[in-house]
Amino acid sequence: MRRKYEWEKLKPSEVPRWVLYSGVYPDYFECVELKGKHYRYLICSEPRYQGDKSFTYYRKLRRRWWKKEQRDKQKENKKKNKSEYKKIAFILVFLALSGYFLYSALHFGDVQLSFQNMDENIDRWRSKLSESIGLNSNISKEYIPYSKASGSEVCLINYKNATDPTWNELISFLQIDDTDKQPYNFSSFVCADFAERLHNNAESSGIRAAWVSVDFESGEGHALNAFNTTDKGLVYVDCTQSLIITGFTDNVKRKEYEHDDKIAYIAEGKEYGLISIDKAISPEYWFYEEYIKKWEKLEEDIDVYNNDVEAYEKERTWYEKILGGRIYIDNYEEYKQLERIYNKLKKKERELNNRGEELDKRREELGYYYYESLGIVATVEIYW
């Protein structure tokens, strides 16, 4: 039996044409090896007759010349794969045993609680990831035909699980939300941006919100928000900065009390009203009308008070001029006259102090400042 890797002698008719016409002519008693695609061939020459004539014969290797190397590589790869499989099997067994013992440990106090918190955090991050790639069916986006400062359309992000708040829940959310702290800028952040941001922040916090557009009888329109509270009905909220503030005299107290979140009071054909959330206790338009009347009355009383203080200061200056710095008066009649003037001034001083305290209480109640109206409301559009 011929061995696997033994050279096989070929008949002339079995020699491939590319070997016959390869142009290789070995010298006497020499062999030249040619490598084909599948076989290795030997072209050998030896003298057969006297003279220069020679006999050429051909042999080929029965086995393909590259197959042994390939099989060796395959064996080597199998060895490597077996070692990798062993490593993977060891890791899987280790994880299974660790999971078994860890599961038993989960029944004990803090360990179980910590892993529960871990699961909650994972679910929260999974939800945020789903939102970012648009896979959360509880979230929907709506583009409305209004432009922001950048020129892009307003985008409202609505949550199906968002619910209507109570009045107190709404005020608590507004006090925490920082939308009103954003600086107003005509080129980058205007009322449409404020309203979009507050809407989306409220929805993400579980509070159902609306984006509102208001047109006035003259001038540019305005954007704000609306909330349908369960106890006080529809409430308009305006968080835009740079609105005109009047009626304030103490800048220190303004910094202490100022809040840019405001309850808006809207009725077609009437002026657009605003009251800070720190002082608004009702969303009804009558409350705004009474609030403005109180402010008007307060300003009138302050003007009267200031005039009376000015008159008191003139009388006091006149009295001090007559007294002339004296601490003892010889003339009894002059003494009695100056005493009557002094008592009259002290009484007026007490009255002015009491009136001043009463005015401070009223101003504290109203908030030390108020917002001027943006105009008469013509139309209102609400986008939930």
The ranges assigned to domains in the chain are: 7-65, 78-132, 139-279+372-383, 293-366
Helix residue ranges per DSSP H, 188-271: 191-204, 251-257
To which residue do tokens 């102090």 refer? 353
Question: Given a cut of 50, is residue 111 above it in pLDDT?
Answer: no
- pLDDT, mean of residues 80-94: 78
CA distances from 371 to 235, 270, 277, 286, 314 (A): 18, 15, 12, 17, 35
Question: HSE on the CB side for 194, CA within 13 Å?
Answer: 29
- The pLDDT of residue 368 is above 70: yes
**Residue of 370, 182, 175, 166 whose CA lies nearest to 276:** 370
Alpha carbon distance 377, 215 (integer Å): 6
Residue 110 has pLDDT above 50, yes or no: no
Query: Which of 39-53, 144-158, 215-229, 232-246 is least confident?
Result: 39-53
3-state secondary structure of 50: coil
- Among candidate residues 184, 217, 185, 180, the one with its CA nearest the CA of residue 197: 180
Average pLDDT of the chain to the nearest whole number: 81
Q: Lowest mean pLDDT of 109-123, 155-169, 230-244, 364-378, name the range.
A: 109-123
* 56 in Cβ contact with 42 (< 8 Å): no
d(CA 113, CA 63): 69
- Strands 262-265 and 233-238, by their bridges, are antiparallel
Give the per-residue pLDDT at 64. 46
pLDDT tens per residue across span 195-204: 999 999 999 9
- How many CA atoms, within 13 angstroms, populate the side-chain half-sphere of residue 340? 5
Measured in degrees and rounded to the nearest 5, phi and psi for residue 236 equal: -95, 140
Question: Are residues 215 and 379 in contact, defined by beta-carbon separation less than 8 angstroms?
Answer: yes
Mark out the alpha helices in the chain (DSSP H runs): 17-20, 67-105, 109-132, 167-176, 191-204, 251-257, 285-323, 332-366
Amino acid type, 72: D
In this predicted model, which residue has the larger pLDDT, 302 or 134? 302
Of residues 330 and 291, more confidence is placed in 291
Token representation of residue 50: 């006297």
Q: Are 138 and 160 in contact (CB under 8 A)?
A: yes
Examine the pLDDT at 132 and tell me if it is beyond 50. yes
Whether residue 27 is predicted with pLDDT greater than 50 in this model: the reply is: yes
Cβ neighbors of 132 (< 8 A, separation 6 or more) are none
| The pLDDT value given to residue 78 | 72
Q: Taking 50 as the threshold, does the pLDDT of residue 2 lie above it?
A: no
What's the confidence (pLDDT) of residue 81?
A: 74
CA angle (171 as vertex; 222, 296 as ends), nearest 5: 65
Q: What is the 3-state secondary structure (H, E, C) of 128-179?
A: HHHHHCCCCCCEEEEEEEEECCCCCEEEEEEECCCECCCHHHHHHHHHHCCH
Least confident of 82-96, 116-130, 260-274, 294-308: 116-130
pTM over 0.75: no
Q: What is the pLDDT of residue 11?
A: 77
Task: Quote the pLDDT of residue 112.
Answer: 44
Cα 341 vs. chain centroid, distance in angstroms? 69
- Do the beta carbons of residue 153 and residue 147 sit within 8 Å? yes
How high is the pLDDT of residue 115?
45
Give residue 106's identity as a one-letter amino acid code: L
Q: What is the CATH code for 139-279+372-383?
A: 3.30.460
Rounded CA separation 240/223 (Å): 9
The half-sphere exposure of 168 on its side-chain side, counting CA atoms within 13 A, is 0
Confidence of residue 254 (pLDDT cuts 50, 70, 90): low
Pick the most confident of 10-19, 88-97, 244-253. 88-97
pLDDT per residue as tens digits for the range 268-288 = 999 999 999 989 999 999 999
- Buried/exposed code over 102-120 (b: 16+ C-beta within 10 A; e: otherwise): eeeeeeeeeeeeeeeeeee
pLDDT at 335: 86
Percent of the chain at pLDDT above 70? 76
